[in-house]
Amino acid sequence: MVFAIDERSGMPETELVRRAREDWQSPYADALMMRYMPYALTCAARWDIADPCADAEDIAHRALMDALEKYDPGKDATFKTYLTLRVNQIAWAEQRSARRRANAAQVVSLDSSEGGAAGLQDLLCGSCSAETEWLDGQVHEPIQKALGYLPEIEQTIVLASVLDGYSNQEVARLVDMVHNHGMNDRSVIRARNRALGRLAQYLEGSVADIF
């Protein structure tokens, strides 16, 4: 178990978190907010999110509340480390959501047939345009479900590289930020191929042909 001494209260970090959980209106919760909110803001500000409804302060606050609720002191990580991951995970989700809304009018297809079948990008982004509406409940749902069976790191790799067009190097940096897991270009390629293979195996039949 990792112990980090909170500089403001002088008590172990895990103890401060425990007491803050007991009463979110207590001085301990205030001390935790004062201690970590500036750091969470700094982490959130690194992300370029073109959405006024999800600014750095909003992301930092949500991440801090989420980390306070879900942090497990028994894990070999400090609260600050877990908070960093939650900020990055929430920020990336908001960034992807903002991009989808900005590109909602565009029809982007991966491996689409001449008949107009939507590609993987439309399916995973939850497109509801007229061109892809026929897929609801037929292809979109199975793919979303299949993604849920992948490990979180592989989900991130598929979404970032296949959907968002990130380079292998960008995906590696993203995985490090969101999952605290080091990767290089080759390991990203291996993980992506493994993930797509699992998706195709799970989906089978005609849906697997999309990949």
Percent of the chain with pLDDT over 70: 66
Tokens 């069976």: give the residue.
149
Domain holding 57, by residue range, is 1-102
- pLDDT(107) > 70: no
**Residues 185 and 169: beta-carbon distance below 8 Å:** yes
| 16 and 82, same domain (yes or no) | yes
> What are the φ and ψ backbone dihedral angles of 93, each rounded to 5 degrees?
-60, -40
132 and 79 housed in the same domain? no
Domain boundary among 42, 69, 102: 102
The burial of 121, by beta-carbon neighbours within 10 Å (0-12 exposed, 13-18 middle, 19 or more buried), is given as buried
- pLDDT tens digits for range 122-164: 444 443 333 333 333 344 567 777 777 888 888 888 888 876 6
Is the domain of 3 the same as that of 96?
yes
Same domain, 89 and 20: yes
Q: Give the domain CATH number at 52.
A: 1.10.1740
**Number of domains within the chain:** 2
Q: Are residues 118 and 35 in the same domain?
A: no
